[in-house]
Amino acid sequence: MDRYCVFGNPIAHSKSPEIHAAYAAQTGQALTYERRLAPVDGFADAVRGFIAEGGKGANVTVPFKLEAVKVAQALTIRARAAGAVNTLVFSEDGIIGDNTDGAGLVADIVNNAGVAIAGKRVLLLGAGGAVRGVVLPILEHRPARLVIANRTVSKAEELVAQFSALGGEGVVSACGFGDIEGEYDIVINGTAASLNAELPPIAPTVFAPGALALDMMYGPSPTVFLQFAGQHGARLRDGLGMLVEQAAEAFKLWRGVQPATAEVLQSLRAKL
């Protein structure tokens, strides 16, 4: 039976084994998927050890997504653009690093929320690793504009410079939180503010009528950002759909089969 895992530290909270077990049952794939706690200073050895045990692939979560870039012997375009790897494929050609986070976010917006990105005004809050991974997949859906707002403007400007060369010229721009102009159809919180129950310092005017507000974090109740967005008329989505969809993308990479996500998402939501 083929073996897969997710590496992280901490890792006990990961819902990935439950998600992949559901996908395997649904698609008739014979595989096992486990959590693996890797030492903070021993990620590469942990990966090599898993390959030696017959592992076929792995997901990578905090704090190893940057280190996984170095472990990979080849990177996909989206992993290179993200500068981070969350999925490893162990092939005859070596270790291939991919990033399915952005594809997961886009699938959740377009398929699950039923909101097209094409022609829309999109606001991304934050400029860290979480945001970096979603810029290219969003651009591939041809938004009218994509604004990256961040506390440190220079970090957002670095992303704009990078992604202008990848089809974002004239579409992507950067600003500080206090300098956001106009209103947006899709507002995505990729900052860590929700971890501390804080709100990114944005004005309520950023939400266009009927806007979709999405927080990459999730929990049993809406984050402070989603509560704020809801008070100003936005439709709300948390990051659980993104989690389920990025896992489906990884599953497809490993097994060549696209699993259905709706029931898995519904089941996880009921357990929050």
Positions marked active-site: 65
Q: Which of 79, 107, 116 is closest to 95 using CA atoms?
A: 79
- Is 129 labelled as part of a ligand binding site? yes
Q: Which residue has the tokens 């792995």?
A: 58
Q: In a 3-state reduction of DSSP, which class is residue 233?
A: coil
- Is 94 labelled as part of a ligand binding site? no
- Is 4 labelled as part of a ligand binding site? no
Tokens of 137: 């997949």
* CB-based contacts of 125, cutoff 8 Å, min separation 6: 131, 149, 150, 177, 187, 188, 189, 190, 191, 200, 202
- Is 221 labelled as part of a ligand binding site? no
Tokens of 80: 């290179």
* CB-based contacts of 105, cutoff 8 Å, min separation 6: 134, 137, 138, 188, 214, 216, 242, 245, 246
- Is 218 labelled as part of a ligand binding site? yes
- Is 196 labelled as part of a ligand binding site? no
- Is 61 labelled as part of a ligand binding site? yes
- Is 14 labelled as part of a ligand binding site? yes
In the annotated binding site for shikimate, the residues are: 14-16, 61, 86, 101, 218, 246
In the annotated binding site, the residues are: 14-16, 61, 86, 101, 126-130, 150-155, 216, 218, 239, 246
In the annotated binding site for NADP(+), the residues are: 126-130, 150-155, 216, 239
